[in-house]
Structure 1
Amino acid sequence: MAYVEASVRRGQLVTAARSALSRDGVAKTSLRAVAAEAGVPLGTLQYIFPSKDQLLRAVIEDVVEEIAKVLRHSASRDEGLERAIDSGMHSFWSMLVTDRVGLQLMQYELTTYALRAAGQEAVARWQYERYVSVVAEWCQEAAQRAGETCSVPFTRLARVMVASLDGLILQHVCDPDERRSREHLETMISMIVALADVGPAPTEARATT
């Protein structure tokens, strides 16, 4: 077998683990199964990830960063906060939910696994704090660029957005119906825009942004 740098091999193994987890679930995915998925000896995988917990943590981190990247790069931040909310949530749904139910199911499984595994609780907490921080950052940036204010703190707005999407995704995973889910997504966006109650920033604030 040709030599592969550890950093490259790590990425390959995480990709293989994501494939196996999406298809078979956390309970049925062993280190041996992931090694077979990646086409490497079990010992090679265990050199990079000595335990299943370490591998699953790496997968959680990879999934979180994928979602963060989509949110950062797909949400419009040049047309005001309302547009940022609308474009961000639509892009998230199109890129990470439609036709990717396996990814979302895996994400829920990994979260509950981390909450139940001794010593891994902080991973689940970090997962959601990361989601919230990314959403809050692009909402705040969109508002500042447009000289706008939000009626609630950006972190609170972001937590409501993440919680709302979580609930809608879980319903969609349980009973996939893209048309219905899209209608509910539109309703949810309207509710969040109403919560934000966007207004113009004071003249002094606009002058300093």
Structure 2
Amino acid sequence: MTGGKRAHLPVEQRRAQLVAAAMRVMQREGAWSLTTRAVAKEAGVPLGAVHYAFGAKTELVRAVFQADRDRSTALLRRAVQAGGSPAEILIRALVGYADSVIADPGAEMVLQELTMMGGRDDDLRAAARESTEQYRGDVLDLLHRVAEASGGTWSGEVAVLVESVLGLLFGASVNWLCTGDDDLFRRCVTDAAQTLAARLTEAGAPG
């Protein structure tokens, strides 16, 4: 039975298993509780399996961020692919994000905690910064795709629009974690999407 629990897995499957175990540990005990030993125990594998898959705790944290980023990237791209007006696409994207937070508050709390810890922990700072840059890239891609689909142009500096969207989403998520007001959360991001859509100038229209 022991041999069955420790059966060899391809490294990508092992990494996914350990990321899931890390999330369970952090959701239960807080992001600051994360250790490779705790993850090994949660996953039911030898400690060496964690170090083989990731090398260090920082790499495991990067993988946790990446897993969330993969989900958000897919969500935003589905919003664009479903079509519609710029406002409809942006509402679908931002409300979809809010719905994903509401569906899994424990995961959102962990990600917020890890990001804040990056401001204090030198080992985690680079991982948190990389994650933030990746989220910026996802929102920038969303805005580019919306503009391309509509044939319009964003008024103002796109980098500032991206930062405003991220600040709104992360801040509204923190507020929701504290209040649990689902309706206000969704109305807030809907309003932000509509306001953002109004910054898109149609082709041929005066800027």
CA RMSD of the aligned region, Å?
2.1
The corresponding residue for 2:164 is 160
The corresponding residue for 1:34 is 39
Matches within 5 A, 1:83-94: 83-94=88-99
Matches within 5 A, 1:1-209: 1=3, 2-76=7-81, 78-94=83-99, 96-194=100-198, 196=199, 198-202=200-204
4+ long deviations beyond 4 Å: none
- How much does 1:172 deviate? 0.4
AA aligned to 1:17 is A
Identity %: 27
Residues 151, 57 of structure 1: alpha-carbon distance in 2 compared, 3 angstrom cutoff: same
Q: Deviations over 1:116-152 (max 9, x none)?
A: 2224323222212211211121222222222212212
Residues 190, 52 of structure 1: alpha-carbon distance in 2 compared, 3 angstrom cutoff: same
CA distance in structure 1 between the aligned counterparts of 2:145 and 2:190, rounded to whole angstroms: 23
- How much does 1:38 deviate? 1.2
Q: Deviations over 1:76-98 (max 9, x none)?
A: 5733422221111111112x211
CA distance in structure 2 between the aligned counterparts of 1:25 and 1:135, rounded to whole angstroms: 28
What SS does the aligned partner of 1:116 have?
coil
Task: State whether residues 35 and 42 of structure 1, in contact with CA within 8 Å, keep that contact through their aligned partners in structure 2.
Answer: yes
- How much does 1:109 deviate? 0.9
Report the more deviating stretch, 6-15 or 166-175.
Answer: 6-15
Residues 74, 190 of structure 1: alpha-carbon distance in 2 compared, 3 angstrom cutoff: closer
- How much does 1:186 deviate? 2.8
Task: State whether residues 10 and 48 of structure 1, in contact with CA within 8 Å, keep that contact through their aligned partners in structure 2.
Answer: yes
Q: Deviations over 1:53-77 (max 9, x none)?
A: 2322221222222222222223457
AA aligned to 1:159 is E
TM-score (norm 1): 0.85
Q: Deviations over 1:4-42 (max 9, x none)?
A: 122221121112112221222112232222112212122
What SS does the aligned partner of 1:201 have?
coil
